[in-house]
Amino acid sequence: MTNGVFYCSFKLKKGASVPEFLAAAEKLNNEYISKQKGYVSWKQLNDSDTWLDILTFETMEDVKAFEANSANPGELAQHFYSFINMPSCKVRYFTALRSYGE
């Protein structure tokens, strides 16, 4: 297994509604991200201050294509991004060499 992984840590804007943010993320996933070539999963983690998005695709090429396609965000992505403090975003790419469990 050598999945490609898109990793992004970020903070929400001050006063952003977490339930509304999560609803925007779910809508974005269901209507756009999950339909991208090679999509495997999207996990969102939070430690009360910092958020972490981990998107897994079948290959690193699929990750790069997803990123290129997302360069011009549509309405769903713009709504999702409206909750995020964009300067706080840190993006990295990983190759998943092995996975244990689910």
Q: Average pLDDT in the 48-53 region?
A: 95
Q: Average pLDDT in the 3-32 region?
A: 97
- Residue 30: CA count within 13 A, CB half-sphere: 6
- On whether residue 102 sits in a domain, the answer given is no
pTM recorded for the entire structure: 0.90
Domain count, the chain: 1
Dist. CA 85–CA 53, nearest whole Å: 14
Note whether 75 and 94 are within 8 A (CB). Answer: no
- On whether residue 10 sits in a domain, the answer given is yes
Least reliable range by pLDDT among 17-21, 43-47, 64-68, 85-89:
64-68
Domain that holds residue 25: 3-93
- On whether residue 65 sits in a domain, the answer given is yes
Taking only the tens place, the pLDDT of each residue in 61-98 is 999 999 888 877 789 999 999 999 999 999 999 999 88
pLDDT value, residue 1: 67
- On whether residue 99 sits in a domain, the answer given is no
Domain CATH for 70: 3.30.70.100
